Amino acid sequence: MTNDNPTGKKLWDGRFSEATDAFVEQFTASVGFDQVMADQDIRGSIAHATMLCQVGVLSEVELTAIIGGLEAIQAEIHQGIFSWSVALEDVHMNIESALTDRIGSVGKKLHTGRSRNDQVATDIRLYLRDQIDIISRLVIRLQRGILALASQETATILPGLTHLQVAQPITFGHHLMAWYAMTERDYARFQDCRARLNVLPLGAAALAGTSYPIDRLLTAKLLGFDGVAENSLDAVSDRDFAIEFSACASIMMMHLSRWSEEIVLWASPQFDFVDLPDRFCTGSSIMPQKKNPDVPELVRGKTGRVYGSLMTLLTLMKGQPLAYNKDNQEDKEPLFDTVNTLRDCLTAFADMIPAMVPKRENMRAAAMRGYATATDLADYLVKKGLPFRDAHDVVGKLVGVAINQAVDLAELSLATMQAESRLISDDIYAVLTLEGSIRARNHIGGTAPNQVDSAIQRASVRLDALDQQVN
């Protein structure tokens, strides 16, 4: 709901001799999007008022009136009945004006010792801190889904690819755990970002601090900040914390996009490795046979959207002299969009990944193509005493023979293989099986089924610990 504020009364218009142009009023207003920070703004105002009371600027009666008024306004906002005014520009002035209307001149004292500059910097930090906590829980839910699927596929053979060409046999569980490893780093980046942004700007006022006897450490404690910004100019003007968040989000979206690319390929008839449940797909308006993997495709597309927001914030910040400039009003829409996009994409993947149905026989059949066990043959020769480069040459020749005969390496006769190296004996056929290949990678980080299972168990322990921290 909006209010056009027919009086046109501003909280700052004492210096001005004419009303703001109607277009300029609309052009400069941010309340249409920054009202999303209303809860954070009210939380910060309550903490600020509490501090002002502690240092003697407000009385206990005034504090009670301010807190009661702010809580009533917050209730109206949650109910959708609060009247937002474009003329009042932003979420801060809308709430302050409503407070004054509700409790009288006492409401005008709330802004003592602060500016909208340090107020908005505080609100954004509170908002991002809240959102990182939500995102962290979504990442953990996604990780649970990956582990659940991986635990069922520790022995499912899949062709491992380089250059999108068959390279070596791996297990599907091992592949999924590669995804999991990416999410662990993503999670850690968000926690690092949270630690750096959890510093209180409030008290910096417009840019130079305030002459009032404020207690910034008390305000920081009330709002759960780890400390206070040490420099007032920096506190109100830099948005590097928002840029850092957007960079973390971009990296995570890059990972989701890579997975999306794989899922799109896997769901195609050419690969046919997985089946996506119908609820994550759509059909064609003209081709009745189609089942389109729209969710991963859309996540792949939304990655570019998040990248764009990061570039917007970097460009926004790069030319600003100290301290605050109106340019910074443009930081919120790309930031809010990034938050919403990432949350939606994480939710989609957390639902979709554990619901994917692997087609195990198709995966195994694909691993049989492309001479995936060639490296195993080379390793076999090295263990028999042949230098690796010589072994590489021998195997390359045998692959050429197999291609000409249109057979797998394991289908070559012993005589054919011994023609290239007398070191080869009939025990080679156990080495050239897909199962033998994956079992041979039996070390931490390898694709052997028992190692994949161990990796899942270790990951589960770490995830349980994170879950306890978040909740």
Ramachandran area for residue 275 (φ above 0: left; ψ -120 to 50: alpha; else beta): beta
Provide the 3-class DSSP secondary structure of residue 117.
helix
Conformational region of residue 293, where left means phi above 0, alpha means psi within -120 to 50, and beta covers everything else: beta
Q: Residue 227 carries which DSSP code?
A: E
Is residue 163 annotated as a catalytic residue, yes or no? yes
Q: How far apart are CA 153 and CA 364, in angstroms?
A: 12
Angle between the N-to-C axes of helices 216-223 and 38-54, in degrees from 0 to 180, rounded to the nearest 10: 140
Among the options 83, 284, 413, 454, which is catalytic? 284
284 catalytic per annotation:
yes
Q: For residues 195 and 226, is the Cβ–Cβ distance under 8 A?
A: yes
What stretches of 208-307 adopt beta strand conformation (E)? 227-228, 274-275
Give the β-pairing of 227-228 and 274-275: unpaired
Secondary-structure percent of the chain, ordered helix, strand, coil, rounded to 5: 65, 5, 30
Enumerate the β-bridge partners of residue 282: 292
Return d(Cα 414, Cα 431) in angstroms, integer: 13
CB 338 within 8 A of CB 247: no
Which residue is listed with tokens 């249109």?
Answer: 406
Q: Which residue carries 């390929």 as its tokens? A: 265
Amino acid at 324: Y
Non-local CB neighbours of 127 within 8 Å, separated by 6+ positions: 36, 37, 40
Structure tokens at 369: 């193509």
Closest to 132 in 3D by CA, of 180, 187, 183: 187
Question: So which residues are the catalytic ones?
Answer: 163, 284
